[in-house]
């Protein structure tokens, strides 16, 4: 019987699947766009930061990233969920740092602090010459930045692609980390092939809100972890590197700004 039905209505299941996906998507979007978030987005539109949101590039527990149109160009708009979702996976040092900076432990205000933090870190990295999205405005839980991609399609994450020349990307990543550390005086602290996009044959660093000051007591350990992640990734691709080699090329954390 099921087979007959399948033959008569071959698309039925698929349509049901589509509808289910659609309603899941709707639920997801309703969750993101609570009233205050819509107000923030509308203000950013009024400010001329972008004209409209086009579609979600990525949605997760902590928030989503949307492509937006701004005149002739695209922008990326990151929307953090209001509530404690953003902080569930956050290590203790990062939450502490945020509470101190935002002088609050109210989750709503912390999300705003987190968004502001991502904005200011992006600024520092961008000004230091690190290849990362240029930040535009932010409001509450919404951050506007450069869209990294071509012809309206977002660039892939390093994790999802095969590199033609892993050595060149390795050397470039070393330069990015060195600029971050020596010039911006920041440690990314969540650097992995998931948080690096590949655009125009070059790596682009994203997802920077948890970055910490080079002077922070945990900075060294976090830098070592970042570097170990990447050394492992590149070794798997056949690049003769190691955490020590990578770290040496980055230079010591203690050196201060003159090392840049
Ligand atoms: N500026 C951007 N341009 C294009 N795509 C982006 C941009 N920023 C983020 N993305 C996409 O959205 C995904 C999630 O962004 P990310 O900042 O890593 O947030 P999180 O990991 O906290 O959800 C990325 O993996 C990438 O695919
Ligand atoms: Mg990420």
pLDDT at residue 208 greater than cutoff 90: yes
3-state secondary structure of 189: coil
| Structure confidence at residue 14 (pLDDT) | 58
Q: Whose CA is nearest to atom 17 of ligand 1?
A: 207
The reply to whether 52 and 140 lie within a common domain is: yes
Least confident of 74-78, 105-109, 179-183: 105-109
**pLDDT-derived band at 255, boundaries 50, 70, 90:** low
| Structure confidence at residue 260 (pLDDT) | 44
The reply to whether 51 and 136 lie within a common domain is: yes
Q: Which residues line ligand 1 (CB under 6 A)?
A: 57-58, 60, 62-63, 65, 76, 133, 145-149, 154-155, 157, 195, 206-207
CA–CA dist 163, 123 (Å, integer): 28
The 8 Å CB, 24+ separation contacts for 120-128 are 121/186, 121/208, 121/209, 121/211, 122/208, 124/184, 124/186, 125/179, 125/180, 125/184, 125/186, 125/205, 125/208, 125/211, 127/184, 128/179, 128/180, 128/183, 128/184, 128/260
How many domains is the chain built from? 2
Please give the number of the atom of ligand 1 that sits closest to the Cα of 206.
17
Please give the number of the atom of ligand 1 that sits closest to the Cα of 208.
17
The residue from 122, 150, 178 where one domain ends is 150
Q: Are 204 and 197 in contact (CB under 8 A)?
A: yes
Least confident of 12-16, 137-141, 168-172, 192-196: 12-16
Question: Residue 68 is part of a domain; what is its CATH number?
Answer: 3.30.200.20
Active site residue 165: no
Q: Taking the model in full, what pTM does it have?
A: 0.89
| 215 part of a folded domain | yes
pLDDT at residue 51 greater than cutoff 60: yes
| 25 part of a folded domain | no
pLDDT at residue 182 greater than cutoff 70: yes
Placement of tokens 């990307």 in the chain: 169
Domain that holds residue 253: 155-259
């Amino acid at each position: 019987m099921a087979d007959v039905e399948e033959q008569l209505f071959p698309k039925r299941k698929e349509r049901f699947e589509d509808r289910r996906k659609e309603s899941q998507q709707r639920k997801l979007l309703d969750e993101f766009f609570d009233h205050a978030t819509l107000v923030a987005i509308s203000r950013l539109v009024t400010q001329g930061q972008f004209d409209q949101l086009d579609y979600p590039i990525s949605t997760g527990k902590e928030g989503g990233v949307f492509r937006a149109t701004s005149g002739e160009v695209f922008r990326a708009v990151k929307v953090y969920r209001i509530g404690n979702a953003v902080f569930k996976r956050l290590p203790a040092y990062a939450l502490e740092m945020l509470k101190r900076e935002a002088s609050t432990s109210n989750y709503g205000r912390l999300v705003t602090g987190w968004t502001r933090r991502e904005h200011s870190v992006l600024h520092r990295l961008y000004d230091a010459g690190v290849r990362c999205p240029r930040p535009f405005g932010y409001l509450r839980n919404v951050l506007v930045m450069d869209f990294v991609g071509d012809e309206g399609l977002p660039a892939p994450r390093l994790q999802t692609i095969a590199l033609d020349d892993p050595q060149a990307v390795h050397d470039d990543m070393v330069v990015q980390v060195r600029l971050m550390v020596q010039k911006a005086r920041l440690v990314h602290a969540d650097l992995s092939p998931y948080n690096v996009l590949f655009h125009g044959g070059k790596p682009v660093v994203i997802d920077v809100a948890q970055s910490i000051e080079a002077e922070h007591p945990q900075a060294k350990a976090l830098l070592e972890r970042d570097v170990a992640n990447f050394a492992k990734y590149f070794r798997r691709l056949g690049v003769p590197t190691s955490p020590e080699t990578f770290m040496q090329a980055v230079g010591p954390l203690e050196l201060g700004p003159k090392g840049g």
